[in-house]
Structure 1
Amino acid sequence: METESSINTGTYIQFENEMTVNNTVAIGKEIKFTNMIRPVLSAEVHDALVMFFTCTGFFATVVGIFCNALVIITYAKIGYSDTINISYSALGFSDLSTSVFRCWGTMCYIFILSDAKVSFDPLSINVTTSFFPGQGFEKATAFLTAFIALERCLCVQFPLHVKSIVTKKITVTSIVIIFVFTLIPTNLIHIVYPFKLVYNPAQNRTILAMIPLQTPLRYIIQRTLLAYYGSVLHFSALIAVWICTVFLAVGLKRTAEIRKDKFKNSNAQQDKDKGRRVIKTVFLLAVTYLACSTPTAATTLVPQFVPEFESTRALARISRVCHMLSGLMNQINSNANLFIFLYMGSKFRNTFLRLFGKKIPGKA
């Protein structure tokens, strides 16, 4: 009787995701992506760019893991008396998780490029253990950024009532809701993309691979998830951040004019300066997110108007390079938070320095 471990899976499997849309891969056979399409971008340039973005992406994800771990630790030391610190920590956790999954996905591509003899199929494993979980945390980061920007907008519009509007309970509840709606759906992919042990004749041994079910349900779940994460969540978060960023920019200018002579005592002036620094920090976070998310939005929209911009058509190599560039830009957004907090927040900076035993100027 034939067992799972003795099946020779030489048939082609379609993996449709942001990085490898309609890319045909065979377990046990060597199929090169660069030989599947017309040479719009030369194979040599394409391979060099893929190698560059893969290595750069791996380095960026490692940096992101350390940066966001430091953000979480620093805010844990500062405490959560302010609701904004809770939101910043949640943002750090989301970016940390995104970096971890991207790091693993990049390692899978390194295994492929280096022809490493690993005990699993890197490309198929990458779909459910890196791509979809990474998408979930990436969209969580987007909505957390939108939530933080919205919170600061309320501070600008209702400065005397914001503490009763945005309480700790509301902040924690909102964060939990964001994670539920962005992470829970990613688990649906495991229903139609189960893991199985298969025989790989190239290595003459059994390896772990993801073998998609050949049922209509698979295509329904797959395309629904791609539409949900690639379009619905991505653009709704992008629009929300854009709107809040505009309000923050207007609010910063308005408060600078209205409150110019309003505060006379030093304590009130310090409170005003602290509030403005927080708004500027959130403004920088939002602007950084918008700048780094623009390439992803472009690579999502272009195929709708230029059908050739697909991985099985004439512009496949350019498409793949653009997807890798957008992924790198998203990772840069995840890495930037630590440096924004260090630049804008004196309390964060002082606490961060104390973590490494550094003496703070002006303090014993």
Structure 2
Amino acid sequence: MSQGSTNYTNSPGSNADQAEITYGFVAPDWKDLDEILIYPTVPILFFSLLGIITNMINILVFVKMGIRDTTTVSMLALAVSDFLCCSLSLWTYLCFTPAFRDLPNLSFRPTEVAIETGTNFRPYMTRTGALITAFITLERCLCVVRPMKVRNIITLKMTRITIVVVYAVTILPFVAHPLHTTLGWKFDPDLNKTLLGAVRINLPISAILIQINAILCGFIYLLLASIIIVVCTLFLVISLVRSSRWRDAVRNQTQAPHGKTLDLNSNRPSKEIRLIKIVVAIALLFIICHLPGTIVIFIFPVTLNYIEQGRFYQSSILLQGFLFAFEVVNNSVNFFIYYSMGTKFRVVFRQLLGLKETKT
């Protein structure tokens, strides 16, 4: 598998610039790339900063709510993953912006440090979020299919173990990258000083591990998560539609005296339906934001491998920038779903701000 096919980061510097310091390819002409990277960079920086703020709020609210149910644990883990993704995105693109990259008297090479500390690590956190989202949708499906048995199937302990395993299987493979290149001090003859940058180690096993990681994070994890999310989301949407039709039919047939409609919804069913809607919204957001990148990864990998080194290289960089932007949007806007659709989340958030509760 070539270097082009192992690029699943959808971020700047993951091809030619990394190749310069790692694989020996020709470095990009930053003057030309700056003109096209400005288009995805602005929204990426904005949504990365937004995501850092909103996910910090999500974490605080979920902790305040109390980690006493499986869904809260999963959503807290998703918020942590999204927070890390947005932080790495902001750091990476900040280092690649000309205003920061070309600052004088820096003691490090921004692009090289960004690749080693941000670009290489971010896809692992992205896949972590994808697998957690898949677990959330799968859990909600089981609640619909086996509502009486799901509490025995998916317990709080089992959920915590699952989250730990998901983080482990997605983050541990990152160890392969420091075995290939790492950060170190090296002399820059142009500036006549020593700078912190990428230093090639290139252990024989590292190349094999990186190829395996590319298959795992670039294909298997994404494919597995996408299939689970799409199938479970379709099932939940169908379940919501059927439930809505059933309630409408019963409401029309069941009337209280004096023309008043009987209350058919107890508190628990209402909360369950609201939670299903939140999960569906999160899943649909994931599908919409990751669909373009998934299509590129699974349908056009060979084509991208060619154009990244050919005449359409700049176009491929622009495409990857926008795919990266879609992922950052997915990492940053869950707060608005929770706030608009989650009554308890909204109440706790307003309490954190010292605001009075509003009737909904």
* Contact 2:85-2:125 within 8 A present in 1 as well: yes
In structure 1, how many angstroms separate the alpha carbons of the residues matched to 2:97 and 2:121? Answer: 19
User: Displacement, 1:195?
Assistant: 2.2
Residues 1:63 and 1:307: Cα distance change in structure 2 (over 3 Å)? closer
Pairing 1:1-364 to 2, within 5 Å after superposition: 17=7, 18=9, 19=11, 20-23=14-17, 24-25=19-20, 33-34=28-29, 47-110=34-97, 114-117=101-104, 118-258=106-246, 261=250, 269-306=266-303, 309-362=306-359
| Matched residue, 2:257 | none
In structure 2, how many angstroms separate the alpha carbons of the residues matched to 1:222 and 1:85? Answer: 34
Quote the RMSD (CA, aligned, Å).
2.7
User: Displacement, 1:56?
Assistant: 2.5
Q: What secondary structure sits across from 1:206 in the alignment? A: strand
In structure 1, how many angstroms separate the alpha carbons of the residues matched to 2:296 and 2:306? Answer: 9
**If the length of structure 2 is used for normalisation, what is the TM-score?**
0.85
Residues 1:250 and 1:239: Cα distance change in structure 2 (over 3 Å)? same
* Contact 1:153-1:251 within 8 A present in 2 as well: no
User: Aligned letter for 1:331?
Assistant: V
> How many residue pairs get matched?
339
In structure 1, how many angstroms separate the alpha carbons of the residues matched to 2:21 and 2:88? Answer: 24
User: Displacement, 1:108?
Assistant: 1.7
* Contact 1:295-1:326 within 8 A present in 2 as well: yes
Residues 1:215 and 1:185: Cα distance change in structure 2 (over 3 Å)? closer
Deviations along 1:160-204, one digit per CA (max 9) or x if unpaired, are: 222222210111111111111111111221112122211112222
Deviates more, 1:121-130 or 1:151-160: 121-130
Deviates more, 1:305-314 or 1:280-289: 305-314
Deviates more, 1:231-240 or 1:168-177: 231-240
Deviations along 1:105-157, one digit per CA (max 9) or x if unpaired, are: 11221258742232112222223211232111111100010000001000111
In structure 1, how many angstroms separate the alpha carbons of the residues matched to 2:87 and 2:143? Answer: 33
Deviations along 1:291-312, one digit per CA (max 9) or x if unpaired, are: 0001221332354352565321
In structure 2, how many angstroms separate the alpha carbons of the residues matched to 1:132 and 1:334? Answer: 17
* Contact 2:179-2:202 within 8 A present in 1 as well: no
Deviations along 1:19-45, one digit per CA (max 9) or x if unpaired, are: 432445369xxx76248xxxxxxx86x
Q: What secondary structure sits across from 1:249 in the alignment? A: helix
User: Aligned letter for 1:25?
Assistant: E
In structure 2, how many angstroms separate the alpha carbons of the residues matched to 1:193 and 1:32? Answer: 17
User: Aligned letter for 1:232?
Assistant: I
User: Aligned letter for 1:333?
Assistant: N
* Contact 2:94-2:100 within 8 A present in 1 as well: no
In structure 2, how many angstroms separate the alpha carbons of the residues matched to 1:316 and 1:59? Answer: 26
Residues 1:301 and 1:362: Cα distance change in structure 2 (over 3 Å)? closer
Residues 1:217 and 1:235: Cα distance change in structure 2 (over 3 Å)? same
In structure 1, how many angstroms separate the alpha carbons of the residues matched to 2:55 and 2:118? Answer: 18
Unpaired runs of at least 5, structure 2: 255-260
Deviates more, 1:204-213 or 1:172-181: 204-213
User: Displacement, 1:215?
Assistant: 5.0
In structure 2, how many angstroms separate the alpha carbons of the residues matched to 1:214 and 1:181? Answer: 23
User: Aligned letter for 1:64?
Assistant: G
In structure 2, how many angstroms separate the alpha carbons of the residues matched to 1:237 and 1:275? Answer: 23
Q: What secondary structure sits across from 1:190 in the alignment? A: coil
Q: What secondary structure sits across from 1:314 in the alignment? A: coil
* Contact 2:247-2:264 within 8 A present in 1 as well: no
Deviates more, 1:94-103 or 1:54-63: 54-63
User: Displacement, 1:235?
Assistant: 1.8
Unpaired runs of at least 5, structure 1: 1-13, 36-42
In structure 2, how many angstroms separate the alpha carbons of the residues matched to 1:80 and 1:348? Answer: 13
Residues 1:362 and 1:338: Cα distance change in structure 2 (over 3 Å)? closer
**If the length of structure 1 is used for normalisation, what is the TM-score?**
0.85
* Contact 2:285-2:330 within 8 A present in 1 as well: yes
